[in-house]
Amino acid sequence: MFAVLAAFLARVLLVLLFLPFSALDKLLNFNLAVGQAEQEEKNPALAKLLILGGFGIELFMGLGVLTGLADRFCAFVLALYCIVTALLWKQFWRRPDFRLVGTSQGRELFWDFLKNLAVAGGFFMLALGTTATSAQNFFDAPFASHHPYHRPGEAR
C-alpha cells in the first residue's frame, strides 16, 4: 500500500502546478489569461485558442498522468507543453534589464524559463524512462501505460 501511495504522490507533485492550479486559474480568470496571452499573440481569437488549448492539455494530460491511462503519452505531451510555454511566455532574452546582479525582471523570467525546462525533464523521464531501451519502448508503443498503481505479480 505504501508503494502505491508513494507512486501516486510522486505523480501528484509532478502535475500539481497544472492540475488543479493552472487549469483552475485559466477557468476562473479566463479573460485575464487571454489578456496575458495577447501580450505575445496580438490576434485575440488565437490568444483565446491558446488559453483553451493550454487548459485542455493541463486538464486531460494531467489526469492521464495521475490515473495511469496512457500516462507515458500524457507525460510526453506535458513535457512538450512545458518547453513551448517556456519559449512563448518566459522570453527572458527579450527583457532589456537582464543582469546577474541587482533587481532584474529578465533574470526572474530566466529562472521561470529554467523551471519550465526542469519540469519538462521530469515529464520526459516519466514518458521515456531512464535508458535508451525504455525510450525505445515508448516510441514503439506511445499510448501504453506504466500501470503505476499495480505491484509486480498483481493481476491487471
Could you tell me if residue 147 is inside a domain? no
Could you tell me if residue 68 is inside a domain? yes
pTM for the model? 0.90
Helix locations, 16-104, DSSP H: 23-28, 30-38, 44-56, 62-67, 71-89
Could you tell me if residue 94 is inside a domain? yes
CA separation for the pair 152, 71 (Å, rounded) = 18
Could you tell me if residue 17 is inside a domain? yes
What is the CB neighbour count within 10 angstroms for residue 123? 24
Peptide bond into 20 cis (omega under 30): yes
Question: What pLDDT does 155 receive?
Answer: 63
What is the tally of structural domains in the chain? Answer: 1
Could you tell me if residue 145 is inside a domain? no
Name the DSSP class of 142: T
Could you tell me if residue 36 is inside a domain? yes
Could you tell me if residue 150 is inside a domain? no
Q: Does residue 98 have a pLDDT over 90?
A: no
Could you tell me if residue 121 is inside a domain? yes
* Residue range(s) defining the domain that contains residue 86: 2-140
CB 37 within 8 A of CB 47: yes
* Residue 153 pLDDT level (bands cut at 50, 70, 90): low
